[in-house]
Amino acid sequence: MSATTAVKRLSVPDISARKGATPVVCLTAYTAPMAGLLDPHCDVLLVGDSLGMVLYGLPSTLGVTVEMMVAHGAAVVRGSNHAAVVVDLPFGSYQESPEQAFRVAARILAETGAAAVKLEGGEEMAATIDFLVRRGIPVMGHVGLTPQAVNVLGGYRARGRSDAEQAKILGDARAVAEAGAFSLVIEGVVEPLARQVTELVPVVTIGIGASAACDGQVLVSDDMLGLFADFTPKFVKRYADLATQVGAAAQAYAEDVRARRFPGPEHTFAEKRPKA
């Protein structure tokens, strides 16, 4: 048995059991090579629709397609063997009806091999979550700042500063948990409210711009690695500055090429003549 096949991948019940226990470590992954690097250190790899902005240069997540999510989800599953892989349902692929959501979610799980799907929304999506879970599709919820609803929310500002917003987020979290979601992303929510939500719901909460009291944390890997030199969200801690390193490496390569220092003799193939 190879080392790869000997590893037991974490399951949805494994993640659910972490409520109030060791925090769940989650990072985004969009490609097989990055998944392979992150996998040994993560409990969950999230194939987020953030790939539209990170990889495709889109202005928001709204232009992401099901085909994109299937392609990148399958790549992440192939590149990993330990973390549970969760794939986002993209905008417009599930909001119309529970039946639409089931068709798309079933396709994503079948064609990627992922463990679960993630969808955004609170009380308005509870019936859809219930519909999916009852038909064997594990669902990770997402409340607070929901990027797919950025046009309705009026931007990417923190949520929960008013009494009305707090009441809505608490109601959304409760509805998503009661509908059967196994975990819940809390994004861009003021810290006391994120802590309160975590205490309120019986499912694992995963914070991003929320609270250290959440049952786990998620970041966009490219933000965490410092691959964007121009902007860092307030809630991101950079653990590396790869943008600077990549730029410096590209500059050194360009200088060597222009000066004909690369390729050197050690990088080229010598002619080999057959022996007489």
CA 33 to mean position of chain CA atoms: 15
Is residue 225 within 8 Å of 239, Cβ to Cβ?
A: yes
Q: Residue 198: which H helix or E strand, with range?
A: helix 191-200
Tokens of 162: 């008013």
CA angle 102, 89, 67 (to 5 degrees): 95
> Per the residue annotation, which of 187, 191, 199, 271 is the catalytic one?
187
Q: Which residues pair with 254 in a beta bridge?
A: none
118 marked as binding residue: yes
Strands (E), the chain: 24-28, 44-47, 84-88, 116-118, 139-144, 183-187, 204-208, 216-219
Residues 6+ apart with CB under 8 A from 108: 66, 69, 70, 73, 87, 89, 114, 117
120 marked as binding residue: yes
CA angle 37, 39, 43 (to 5 degrees): 150
8 marked as binding residue: no
Tokens of 166: 């707090």
Instruction: Let me know if 187 is a catalytic residue.
Output: yes
Burial class (CB in 10 A: 0-12, 13-18, 19+), 267: exposed
- Among candidates 99, 92, 83, which has minimal Cα distance to 120? 92
Tokens of 239: 């653990």
Instruction: Mark the binding-site residues for 3-methyl-2-oxobutanoate, compressed into ranges.
Output: 49-50, 88, 118
Catalytic residues: 187
Instruction: Mark the binding-site residues, compressed into ranges.
Output: 49-50, 88, 118, 120
